[in-house]
Amino acid sequence: MLLGRTPEGPIAGRPVVITGLGAVTCCGVGVEALWEQLLHPTLTGERRVPDFDPSVWFGPKEVRRLDRFAQMSVAAAELARADAGPLGEDPARSGVIFATGVGGFETLAEQVLVCDRKGPGRVSPFLVPMMMANAGAANISMRFGWHGPSEAVCTACAAGTHAVAAAARLVASGRCDVAIGGGSEAAIQEVAIGAFTNMTALSSSGESRPFDVRRDGFVMAEGAAALVLEAKDRALARGARIYAELAGAASTADAHHITAPEPEGAGAVACMELALEDAGISADQVGHINAHGTSTPLNDLAEARAIQKVFGAPGPPVTSTKGLTGHALGAAGAIEAVASALTIFHGIIPPTAGLEQLDPEIGLDVVFGEPRPFPPAPVISNSFGFGGHNGCLVLVPAG
């Protein structure tokens, strides 16, 4: 990753690797459940996290004082930290950058009803710390006792990707030796569903079908994912298992519309090109693209056009994990970053669940039906959010 540019040229940062993964998704708790479902998808319908038991990580008092999104933030981070093995970290040089789209929306909605029905005197004194968007990041740093940067990113559906990128730059810059990046969302609630339904963003069929000719909107999901990011030399010295190197990232804005993507994907094109430049690789080196692929007609077509402009047609194999996981808003990019790291580590590209009839306008080599073998190569993971926020990560095999 680059730290900047001077008249003498680019300034390269320390190599950053992924040594721990954690996921709490509609597939279940843990990356194993996520990976198994990605390879052999069977889930349909509502994408809630099944049987999530916060008492595994919290006492009764904590459970009552943390919104579900913050509970899942800590759970995913704990899983990732355990997966990374003994870190031996210096708390002053360990940081957290965690994302969400809306924060503690479930708690806010509940307490608005309390206020309306019983009056402001009955509103919970814990409403503010439960609803605030930084509660996930704050509770992770408190849980681990880490005193480095602890920050929240809130850039809609690009937030998880932006958080992972920002955490990686903490390590690349030398500010931290270890950082956790990720995102969490728990907003499957009546008001949110009503809002997305009335703006015609949700699938009326209840099916997530990225790039399919029948796609008609996204399926809302909840979940969380976290990645342990570590200086490569440090990871090698402690004998850590390395999933992949996070070699580059970028962020751009469409500056076009608050919800609709720029139709020709200009902002997405710029973001992918900048991410490749940041990683120091060319487009023809990329072996796989983990697409944003929401299953909405406009997004999928705009992203396909952008991919063609950068990589040509049909370009490298493309997958959208949202056919399985649905769209977890601010957590989506983090979940997809985990999937991208696992794709490199296992050498398999998961199929796009829900896709049966590829839209001929897409013009990409979209993987569906069965997993595809994947020779080691760089992977791009895309996230494009409401507000025109674009984020891209470039993961490469750890050589």
Catalytic residue, candidates 162, 288, 327, 389: 327
Catalytic residue, candidates 157, 176, 271, 392: 157
Distance CA 77, CA 226 (A): 5
At which residue do the structure tokens 């355990």 appear?
82
- Phi then psi dihedrals of residue 222, to 5 deg: -125, 165
Residue 327 appears among annotated catalytic residues? yes
Catalytic residue, candidates 271, 292, 389, 392: 292
- The catalytic residue positions are 157, 292, 327
